Amino acid sequence: MAEYIVSARKYRPARFSEMVGQEQVATTLKNAIRTGHLAHSFLFCGPRGVGKTTAARILAKTINCENITAGFEACGQCNSCVSFQQNSSFNIHELDAASNNSVDDIRALVDQVRFPPQSGKYKIYIIDEVHMLSPGAFNAFLKTLEEPPAYCKFILATTEKHKILPTILSRCQIFDFKRIGIEVIVKHLQHICEVEKIEAEEDALHIIAQKADGGMRDALSMFDRLSGFSGGKLTYASVLENLNVLDYDYFFKVTEALLSENLALSIKLFDEILKKGFEGDDFILGLCEHFRNLLFCKDEGTLKLLEVSESLKQKYAVQSSLALSDFLVNCLSTGNQCDVQYKVSKNKRLTVELALIKMCYINALVGVDAGKKKLNSERLSDTAQQPQADIARPESNTAPKPDINYNGTKNISALAEEEPLTPIQKPIKSAPAEVVNTAKPATLTKTKKLLTADSVQEEQEASKNNGVEMTVEERIEGEVLILNQENIIKLWGDYAARIPEEKRGLKIAFNSFQPLLDPATLSKISVTVQSDIQKLQLDEIRLGLQNYLSKRTGAILVFEVIADKEVSSGAKPYTPKEKLERMIRKKPAIKLMQQKLGLELDYD
């Protein structure tokens, strides 16, 4: 029985033309050999498994070849080439710096350099993992590396270039090896499959290439293990099972559920993924990558950035046509925040589920500009024939629970009890954007109602009579205004007027904020807060306020919270007690007057 050789050794390149994914390095070295401009020391650096040591061996073999070819490749038949292939060459020495990293090891190497080669042109030393040398060994090597004999060449290889002394780097000709592309790895694996008579699905090879992370050696190791498990036939399902990779279909199903605002299905799919043994962060990172691919499918210029198979590209293109760009961007932002919070969260599962809840109602929270979308004619005609009260409120004698919180998010209890409604029955005010048909692009609808002070008061009284307090989120419809500083201040005041009187403290703090619109971008509003309490109050209403301003101006705005410099340094008083203490420091007589008259602070 013949000895088994792993693919990483069996298919290791022996010529420059066989190097995979490093064509720029191969071309440069061949031109140096052709012109005779060979440096005395080389440094090959880059990730693991991309061909650094292989390139060093090919270079050493070629420059010592006795019958070099017209294409400046080693002949493979001369005495020098044969002895090198049999690991019996006296002119080419390989040293592992990980285990030979002391000063004595380098001194022994320097002593060997003094003797010229017995045969051939050069005496070549290949030092792998050179960053493992000790500082003393590096210093002992400096002089020899800078001025070696004419017959001596040094080829150093490392995965961590930053650990090498600058004095060593300045004495070497540096070649940076790049990660090998997914398509390049897939083509190389397909070539090996043809030689080895192995049947492999293209999607299965793509999974191996993605898991290898740019390293050909890692890809070949996984290929050997999987081909041995599957008995000479690589399938997409077997690769997913053995490499513990989450199936793409899960991400497509979750996205469909989010587009249709089916919260129960999305949570159920996440639970199924957890039961398969996957972690929540693996799921959220894969889902973010899925949204990124969907977003890139919307433009021909970014479509080429998708490193997936052709069949998968078609599936991405179909689902991308059903999702709005605003939806995908907001989902990406939510997923990124979830990834950051996941590492420090104590309830990691709940962190991911909250992110899915936010994604599920992205369309309802962000809204769609009424001036940029066409109304559905059939729905508009049906709506005109029915009383507005019948559409906005379900027919019931009991008062409905508010389905939107004050900060603009939906009530969890309302989501759980809400029954699916038909497109006509579903309240238009709570769903500014909805997916009507999953097979076609979504039809977007929105009512436009100009509010006055009298109408707002009437709606408040009517809602209180029914036992329901209308939230700010339900009263944000109005005419679309031009985005400028004047209108931002006007809308800021309008929003403050709608804050319920029960939240008096929040209303007072809100009126103290001074919003400033960035004139350069027209998308960022800066708000200066006087304390951490005010920052928490602003965070409480930020989402609803952002939704209100976006709908009234037709633009998506972001907030930048700026802490007052005096407050952050502790120089500016905020509470009544702090103000009194500051007055006493300036005028001590105030303290005497307070004691004689028996004055106390009035916190009201």
Cβ-in-10-Å burial (0-12, 13-18, 19+) of 478 comes to middle
Please report where in the chains the tokens 């060997």 appear, as a residue.
112
pLDDT band (50, 70, 90) for residue 365: low
Nearest to 43 by CA among 148, 202, 121, 153: 153
Q: Is 219 in contact with 189 (CB distance < 8 Å)?
A: yes
pLDDT band at residue 277, thresholds of 50, 70 and 90? confident
Kindly report, residue by residue over 159-168, the tens digit of the pLDDT.
999 999 999 9
Q: Is the pLDDT of residue 236 over 80?
A: yes
Statement: residue 119 has pLDDT above 80: no
pLDDT of residue 247: 84
**pLDDT class of 154 with cuts at 50, 70, 90:** very high
- pLDDT value for 571: 57
Provide the percentage of residues in the chain whose pLDDT is more than 90: 22
Of the segments 35-39, 442-446, 518-522, which one has the largest average pLDDT value? 35-39
> Which pLDDT tens digit goes with each residue over 565-577?
554 445 566 677 7
Query: 467-518 pLDDT, tens per residue?
Result: 434 343 344 445 677 888 888 888 888 888 888 777 777 777 777 777 888 8
Q: How many residues does the chain have?
A: 604
| Tokens describing residue 481 | 């205004």
pLDDT at residue 56 tops 90 = yes
145 touches 173 (CB < 8 A): no
The CATH H-level superfamily of 480-568 is: DnaA, N-terminal domain (3.30.300.180)
The domain 7-176 having CATH identifier 3.40.50.300: the answer here is yes
Question: What's the whole-model pTM score?
Answer: 0.55
Let me know: does 324 contact 348? Beta carbons within 8 Å.
no
- The predicted pLDDT at position 481 comes to 79
DSSP characters for 163-192? GS-HHHHTTSEEEEPPPPPHHHHHHHHHHH
Per the model's pLDDT, the better-predicted residue between 540 and 433 turns out to be: 540
Nearest CA to 534 out of 555, 562, 559 is that of 562
Bigger pLDDT: 245 vs 252: 252
- The identity of residue 420, as a single letter, is P
Structure tokens at 278: 């996957």
Tell me which CATH code domain 182-243 carries: 1.10.8.60
- The pLDDT tens digits of the residues spanning 191-217 come to 999 988 888 888 889 889 888 888 899
Instruction: Tell me, letter by letter, the H, E, C secondary structure of 252-284.
Output: HHHHHHHHCCCHHHHHHHHHHHHHCCCCHHHHH
pLDDT-derived band at 521, boundaries 50, 70, 90: confident
pLDDT of residue 334: 92
Residue 131 DSSP one-character state: G
User: Tens digit of pLDDT for each residue in 326-339?
Assistant: 889 999 999 999 99
Average pLDDT over residues 63-73: 88
Asked if residue 254 has pLDDT above 90, the reply is yes
Q: What DSSP string describes 113-124?
A: HTSPPSSSS-EE
**Weakest mean pLDDT among 84-93, 119-128, 281-290, 429-438:** 429-438
Residue 150 makes CB contacts below 8 A (sequence gap 6+) with none
Please report the pLDDT score of residue 370 as a whole number. Answer: 35
State the Rg of the chain over Cα: 35
| Between 246 and 456, residue with greater pLDDT | 246
**Residue 370 DSSP label:** G
* Model confidence pLDDT, tens digit, residues 133-153: 998 999 888 888 888 888 899
Q: pLDDT digit string (tens) for 9-45?
A: 888 998 898 898 888 999 999 999 998 888 999 999 9
pLDDT on residue 383? 46
pLDDT score recorded for residue 536: 77
Is residue 437 predicted with pLDDT exceeding 50? no
Give the model's pLDDT for residue 264: 92
Please give the mean pLDDT across all residues of the chain.
77
Identify the CA nearest to 118 among candidates 144, 88, 147: 88
Domain 248-360 has CATH 3.50.50.60: no
d(C-alpha 11, C-alpha 192), whole Å: 8
Of 217-221, 312-316, 539-543, where does the model show the most confidence? Answer: 217-221
Question: Would you state the structure tokens that stand for residue 351, as one six-digit string?
Answer: 């962190």
The CA angle 538-544-545, to the nearest 5 degrees, is 60
- Residue 403 has a pLDDT of 44
Instruction: Please state which of the ranges 80-84, 315-319, 340-344, 407-411 shows the lowest mean pLDDT.
Output: 407-411
Helix, strand, coil % over all residues of the chain, rounded to 5: 55, 10, 40
Domain boundary assignment for the chain: 7-176, 182-243, 248-360, 480-568
Measured between alpha carbons, how far apart are the two ends of the chain, in Å? 94
Query: pLDDT: is 493 or 57 the higher one?
Result: 57
248-259 vs 348-360: helix crossing angle, rounded to 10? 50
Task: Report the pLDDT averaged over residues 83-92.
Answer: 86
pLDDT, residue 375, reads: 38
pLDDT attached to residue 424: 35
Residues of the chain above pLDDT 70, percent: 78
- 385 has pLDDT over 70: no
